Chain A
Amino acid sequence: MDRGRCPAVSISSHRRMKIRSESAVSANGSSIQPVAVMTLIILVLSTLLSPGSEPALESPYKAGPGWDFRTDVLPVLASSGCSSAECHGSATGRGGFRLSLFGTDPLADYDSITRGSFGRRIDLRNPAQSLVLLKPTRQIPHEGGEIFREDSTQHAHLLAWIRDGAPWRSGPEKSIRSVTLEMTPSHRLRLTGEFSVGGEGPQFFDVSVMAAFSSTAPAVASVDATGLVSVNGPGEAYLIGRFAGLTHRIAFREPFGPAGLAGTDAGAPGNFVQSSPMDAIWAECLNRTGLSIPSRAEAWRVARRLYLSVAGRPPFPEELDVFHQLVRNAEADADTDPLDSAVADAIERALSSPSYDTRWGHWAAEWLEVKVTPERPDSGAMGRLESMLSERVARDGSLLDLASEVLGANRDFSYLKRYADPRDRSEFVGRALLGVRIGCARCHNHPDDRWTRMDHLGFSAAFSNFDLEQQGSYQSSFSKTPVLDIGKTPSNYPGMMAGMQSGNFKTDGDRLYLPGTGHAVEPVLLSFEEGNKGLKSIPAAGAHDSSLAGWLRNDARLQFSRNIANRIFGHLTGFFPVSPEDDHRSSNPALYEPLLDHLAREFEKSGFRLKPFIRYVAASRLFQMGGADEEEGSLPSMHSYQYLAAWQPVPLDVFAWTQSLSSVLGVPLPPLETQENPLSMQLSLLNSGWIERILRIPGNQFEALGLFTADSDRQRLVELYRMLFSVELDDALAAALLETVSGGSAKPLTGDQWEQLFKALVLSPEFCFVR
């Protein structure tokens, strides 16, 4: 309808009244609220008193006829930045005006704009004088400055909406099903929305002009408000288009060099052989990014890295001997890779080492947030849990089974009992088992998150009456409780939102109530299927596998696999495809998504067991890649590390460093007493005498080296160096080191001098990092 041609006064008067009352009903589900009634009265009076209204404008921004606040108005605020986190979209708003982040809570935003601040933000009698127009055009002071001009299309669009009565909806309902982002040859983003208008569809509209665009890596590619992409440097970025609470992303790559290097001799040693599907995917990722496949690390470094990453200790001298012997044997056979059999043998040795159990038990404890304090390493519930996890790791059972026990009834674990608040329980499950920060939605909806605040509440409710006695299944008490379907809008929505903002929840240990409603929340579970809204109803009592563990095994299985595979791969290589590890979401994609997809599937194929998966990763060429070339006086180019085109040294934490040292010396070590911060740690290592003391523990390997194997200082140093660093030390360098410590004296080193030298060796980066 072309309203511009209609008799403005009569038509718009009737229309406003009708629309306004509709909006009141719509916004509240069933009844007109007092505020709405008052607004209606004012509107009627203003309409009657109005000398005449300007003809309504048809804006080019709208998708179809009439207005739908969600699709026709909110996106303008989002694309103008009004609802960004820095502005009114922050958790508590700004200047007393709060919008949901990027318009993810339309109902609350409509309430805030049309009714908040006693209705001052909208002036229906004189629409151009509405605060929502005066402020962003800076006709009156606005802390955020000028957002758009008075003659801008945004201004005209919002003005038209207010002139039409600022409705929640007028005309047919417009719902948007999806958005699709694409980049034109001229490097401009175009976002297309698939709408259903009045129940009919699909209809497609270009919504670019109202979309908000962003980039995950502006250093690679940035995008301006109009969608124009600028290429700023080589690498990989995801470009994101956002409209009406929906997002779509596309990958963007600017190669570092000419593509097509993978599998060729160009820029890389020609001996690259894809030893596994993972290597093929890695090579393809590097190829697309225009990066060369790195050369393989030297044999001794592969052995060292393998033992350190898998078993948490350097290889013993005899293990090194076996490794090198196997390499030499294989070199005679031209058809086989000289390292493969040595690597396979070393992997098995490392996996069967007792230190493997300790190391991966420690990681499993970290994933499950089991914190053992240094003061009480072996006592208390946490200590018992960590021991139990080490034992489980040694047995190499399914980690999915273990996670199911966490959710289930295993009294020995008692994980969820650690949290009194159901929201803490649900957030723990999200973080630890699934790698998702459902807790983000505790404070506000986020456009890049799949789940809203209401979803977060629903998921938390699933844990509110969780009873370990009941084998982790759900109670039936919900059927007796007034339950609010989180898919519907509660009657006192604004009050409830205010209650949520203040954290004013009520739980009775059995149910989770919505603030100010008296209703318990209907429990729901997270779903990770593509294409749905990310929630799943609780299975009916008695249904097959209606437990939380059943949900994990079926609905959340793949996400669990992605989460754990990402962590294992990260601990082995220092490279976490998704980082931070607990933040899997669409706007934080994995670097090399195909690689993580493959790892997740491979972990699932391995029965969710650690050892087969570690074996698979450690045997790959990827794991054996060389380091970055050093540049004189500066750090190597970081993009090689960032894009997995060179091995980045992995720091050993105190636990791993001590475990490594203990293994070299062959004796248990006393705890290193120090404050937690890194400076205190370095001071302790230098000055506390701890290193000197551990060298005097009877029976340690350092002592044995001096007593039995060394004929000379130089030989003793070469042996020690090999024990610590898995490589031979050149005679000349050994002599130079000895001379440095002895101060140029030709005499044999004293015991004290040996201790000083040993200290320097274990403080060197070569011992503190997996290079």
Chain B
Amino acid sequence: MPFIPGLLEAAYAAGRTGRHLIVVWMDGGMSHLDTLDPKPSAGADIRGPLEAVRSSLDGAMVTEPLSGLGKLLDRCCVVRSITSPEGNHDRGSHYMLTGRRPSPLLTFPSLGSLVARTVQPSSGVPAYVAIPEAHEYARQGYLPARFGPFDVGGDPGRPDFSVRDLDPSPGLESTLSAVEMLRAIQGGPRSKDEASREFFLGQAQAISTSRHVQDLFDLNKERPEIRQAYGRHRLGQSCLLARRLVEGGVRVVLVRDQGWDHHVNIGQALTYGFPPRLTAMNQALSELILDLERRGLSEKVTLLLATEFGRTPRLNPSGGRDHWSRASSCLLFGAGIRRGQLIGETDDRGEEPVFQPVSPADVFATLLRAMGLPADERLQSPDGRPVPVIDPHATLIEDMLA
């Protein structure tokens, strides 16, 4: 068994808080200086091309394209002092998404999979969904495959978007009847592997035959004005889909927004395009927060906006910023999270934390606590070693918790 059976019950019990999680992952390394931690007093080579504006959270500023989101920060918790030694995309992502520094021997389970573990299998609704697909390190790691994410694929921002292969093929009922008959002829599962495959086949059948589950993935079921409010772009519609899914029973949704690795001309990369990246972020995140509140979901759903690392304070000769793991920011909102909380501070150049430095492991551990999961649980690695769910050196960020 890849996990300790006795602890599974404990995990289920802990999971009864029923909290859901949405992770918006800015893939590539979102610049902290150009988003949640601008340095308006620094020189132009550090400040960058974007203006900073005050937010509704005391002491926190955002860059001007994020001013809408800035007005909502008094409902959120902003962490500006994440510091990590991992400045490579893979390693940084592993650290942030699993709460563990990478090991050459073990890929750790992601936050999403750890939460998905606590969900009793139900008819058809996947426990963990990734939009459009999960990062390599947002998967189940060494846990069984059933705790991994279901990747929807495609681009939710496209008018013709639909999740692949959900609609039942013609004659599916007939096929499923034959499958049942064959089971009677050939016998049931004869091993754990056969039982696991049966589980996924059963889940696929349930999804294919459940209008409710198919509707969850159908953005056309949303009113046009709501779709418009989130923004008719990839990030906006992804966030809307995430809200639909958690509202419909999915426990964890990961929205992966790729393309944040801005080594060249970062000002232009963030503010031009269709739509400009920061404009899309501002619109999507703001509307997601407001929508969760309007629907009474802010006490049931925890939201995390995160990335693998920050970017170099000084603009490089190409006008871009390179990888910088000594300082980065994240934003949290919703269930279990203290409202209007600002954690940590970086120096005048945004180089490193000068107050309340925290590690990705600290954020991870605290988020698990906010989700109501046990912090002292141990899993068993495939080779039989006991592995604590949380990095033993992680420290709880008390100020982050409601």
- The chain A residues found within 8 Å of chain B, CB to CB, are 85-86, 90, 92, 94, 216, 427, 437, 439-440, 442-443, 502, 580, 583, 588, 627-628, 630, 633, 635-636, 638, 641, 648-649, 651, 674-689, 692, 729, 733, 736-737, 740-741, 743, 752-753, 755-757, 759-761, 763-766, 768-769, 771
Contact (Cβ within 8 A) A675 B153: yes
Tell me, yes or no, whether B271 is within 8 Å of chain A by CB: no
| B197 in contact with A651 (CB, 8 Å) | yes
Chain A residue nearest to B145 in the complex (CB): A678
Are A635 and B189 interface neighbours, CB within 8 A?
yes
* 11 residue pairs from A and B, CB less than 8 Å apart: A439-B104, A443-B103, A635-B191, A675-B153, A677-B148, A737-B185, A756-B178, A765-B198, A766-B186, A769-B191, A769-B194
Among the listed B149, B174, B392, which residue makes an inter-chain contact with A753, where contact means beta carbons less than 8 Å apart? B174
Residue of A nearest to B199 (CB): A678
Report the minimum CB–CB distance from B382 to chain A (whole Å): 6
Q: Which among B160-168, B254-262, B276-284 touches the partner chain?
A: B160-168
Given A683-B208, A768-B197, verify A741-B148 contact (CB < 8 Å): no
Q: Which residues of A contact B183 (CB under 8 A)?
A: 764
Residues of A within 8 A of B126 (CB): 679
Q: How far is the CA of A741 from the CA of B386 in the complex (A)?
A: 49
B contact residues around A686 at 8 Å (CB): 165, 168-169, 172, 175, 204-205, 208
**Contact present for B105 and A437 (CB under 8 Å):** yes
Q: Are A682 and B204 in contact (CB under 8 A)?
A: yes
In the assembled complex, the Cα of A9 lies from the Cα of B368 at a distance in Å of 57
A216, A676, A737: the one within 8 Å of B178 (CB): A737
Given the complex of chains A and B, what is the CA–CA distance between A630 and B183 in angstroms? Answer: 13
Docked Cα-Cα span, A443 to B188, in Å, equals 45
B151 located at the interface, meaning its Cβ lies under 8 Å from any Cβ of chain A in the complex: yes
Measured in the bound complex, the distance between the Cα atoms of B150 and A630 in whole Å is 32
CB atoms of A741 and B178 under 8 A apart: yes
Query: Complex Cα distance A72/B159, Å?
Result: 74
With A583-B383, A682-B204, A737-B178 in contact, do A765 and B171 touch (Cβ < 8 Å)? no
A682-B203, A763-B201 as given contacts; A687 in contact with B186, CB under 8 Å? no
Q: In whole angstroms, what is the CA distance A609 to B385 when docked?
A: 35
A627 contacts B385, CB within 8 Å?
A: no
Known contacts A737-B178, A740-B177; A682 and B187 CB within 8 A of each other: no
Cα-based distance from A756 to B148 in the complex (angstroms): 29
Contacts of A676 in B (CB 8 A): 151
Interface residues of B (CB under 8 A from A): 85, 103-105, 126, 133, 145-146, 148-151, 153, 164-172, 174-183, 185-198, 200-201, 203-205, 207-208, 382-386, 388, 392-393
| 15 additional contacts (CB under 8 A) given A686-B175, A755-B171 | A216-B384, A651-B197, A675-B164, A677-B149, A682-B203, A686-B204, A687-B165, A688-B164, A688-B169, A692-B169, A740-B174, A740-B177, A743-B174, A752-B170, A765-B197
Partner of A752, one of B164, B171, B180: B171
Task: Return B17 CB to nearest CB of chain A, in Å.
Answer: 25
Residues of A within 8 Å of B192, CB to CB, are 635, 638
Q: Check B191 against A439 for contact (C-beta < 8 Å).
A: no
Residues of A within 8 A of B385 (CB): 85
A687/B172 in contact, CB under 8 A: yes
Q: Are A741's CB and B177's CB within 8 A? A: yes
Q: Which residues does chain B contribute within 8 Å of A757, judged by CB atoms?
A: 174-175, 178
Which residues of the partner chain B approach A737 to less than 8 Å between Cβ atoms?
A: 178, 181-182, 185
A680 with B150: CB separation less than 8 A = yes
Please state if A442 and B104 are interface contacts (CB–CB under 8 Å). Answer: yes
Q: Is the CB of A440 within 8 A of B153?
A: no
The verdict on A678 contacting B191 (CB below 8 Å), with A687-B167, A687-B208, A741-B174 known, is no
**A683 near B105: Cβ-Cβ < 8 Å:** no
Contact B182 A679 (CB under 8 A): no
Q: Which 5 A-B pairs have the closest CB atoms?
A: A760-B178, A682-B204, A675-B151, A683-B165, A687-B165
Residues of B within 8 A of A641 (CB): 191
Across the interface, do B203 and A764 meet the contact criterion of CB distance under 8 Å? no
Q: Which one, B151, B197, B383, contacts A680 given CB within 8 A? A: B151
Closest chain-B Cβ to A504's Cβ sits at a distance in Å of 10
> A677 near B151 (CB under 8 angstroms)?
yes
Please determine whether A677 and B171 come into contact, CB atoms closer than 8 angstroms.
no
- Asked if residues A740 and B181 are in contact (CB atoms below 8 Å), the reply is yes
A-chain residues with CB within 8 Å of residue B194 when the two chains form the complex: 649, 651, 765, 769
Residue of A nearest to B193 (CB): A651
- Complex Cα–Cα for A492 and B281 (A): 51
A548→B10 CA distance, assembly (Å): 51
B204 to chain A: which residues have CB within 8 Å?
A: 679, 682-683, 685-686
Q: Given the known A-B contacts A635-B195, A740-B178, are A627 and B386 also in contact in the complex, defined by CB atoms under 8 Å?
A: no
Contacts of B105 in A (CB 8 A): 437, 439-440
A464 → B minimal CB distance (Å): 17
B182 touches A92 (CB 8 A): no
A227 to B148, CA, bound (A): 40
Q: How far is the CB of A576 from chain B (nearest CB, A)?
A: 12
CA gap between A641 and B194 in the complex, in Å: 13
Which residues of chain A come closer than 8 Å to B208, judged between CB atoms? 683, 686-687
Contact flag A733-B185 (CB < 8 Å), given A439-B104, A684-B164: yes
Partner of A679, one of B181, B190, B200, B384: B200
Neighbouring A residues of B164 by C-beta, 8 Å: 674-675, 680, 683-684, 688
Closest chain-B Cβ to A71's Cβ sits at a distance in Å of: 27
Say how far A729's CB is from chain B's closest CB, in angstroms: 8
Minimum Cβ distance to chain A for residue B349 (Å): 24
Q: How far apart are A422's CB and chain B's nearest CB, in angstroms?
A: 14
Q: Once the chains bind, are A683 and B197 in contact (CB under 8 Å)?
A: no
Contact status A760-B179, CB under 8 Å: yes
Give which listed residue, B85, B166, B180, contacts A683 with CB less than 8 A. B166
Q: Are B203 and A649 in contact (CB under 8 A)?
A: no
CA gap between A636 and B201 in the complex, in Å:
21
What distance in Å separates the Cβ of A651 from its nearest Cβ neighbour in chain B? 5
Contacts A440-B105, A677-B150; A85 near B193 (Cβ below 8 A): no
Given contacts A683-B164, A741-B174, contact A588 B383 (CB under 8 A): yes
CA distance A443 to B170 in the complex (A): 55
B168 contacts A687, C-beta separation under 8 Å:
yes
Of A427, A680, A768, which contacts B165 at CB under 8 A? A680
Which residues of the partner chain A approach B203 to less than 8 Å between Cβ atoms? 679, 682
A105–B103 alpha-carbon span in the complex (Å): 21
Interfacial chain A residues near B386, Cβ < 8 Å: 85-86
User: Is there an interface contact between B177 and A649, defined as CB atoms closer than 8 Å?
Assistant: no
| A535 and B210 alpha carbons, distance in the complex (Å) | 61
A627 to B182, CA, bound (A): 19
Minimum CB–CB distance for A760 against chain B, Å: 3
Nearest-neighbor residue (CB-CB) of A582 within chain B: B105
A637 CA / B171 CA spacing, docked (Å): 37
A769 to B201, alpha carbons, bound, how many Å? 14
For residue B131, give the distance in angstroms from its CB to the closest CB of chain A.
12
User: Are A94 and B170 touching (Cβ within 8 A)?
Assistant: no
Chain B residues within 8 Å of A752, by CB? 170-171
Q: Which of A675, A683, A760 contacts B182 (CB 8 A)?
A: A760
Determine the chain A residues whose CB is within 8 A of the CB of B167 once the complex forms. Answer: 687
Task: Please give, as numbers and ranges, the residues of chain A lying within 8 Å of B384 by CB-CB distance.
Answer: 216
- In contact, B383 and A677 (Cβ under 8 angstroms): no
Distance in angstroms from A104 CB to nearest chain B CB is: 16
Residues of B within 8 A of A684 (CB): 164-165
The winner among A94, A753, A765 for most chain B CB atoms within 10 A is: A765
| Residues A759 and B200 in contact, CB atoms below 8 Å apart | no
Shortest beta-carbon distance from A748 to chain B in Å: 15
Nearest chain A CB to B395's CB is how many angstroms away? 12
B200 touches which one: A633, A674, A675, A681 (CB < 8 A)?
A681
Q: Which residues of B contact A630 (CB under 8 A)?
A: 187-188, 190
Neighbouring A residues of B196 by C-beta, 8 Å: 678
Residue of B nearest to A218 (CB): B384
Known A684-B164, A757-B178; contact A678-B187, beta-carbon cutoff 8 A: no
Docked pose: A651 CA to B150 CA in angstroms:
21
With a CB–CB cut-off of 8 A, which chain B residues contact A648?
Answer: 190-191
Alpha-carbon distance A741/B171, docked complex (angstroms): 9
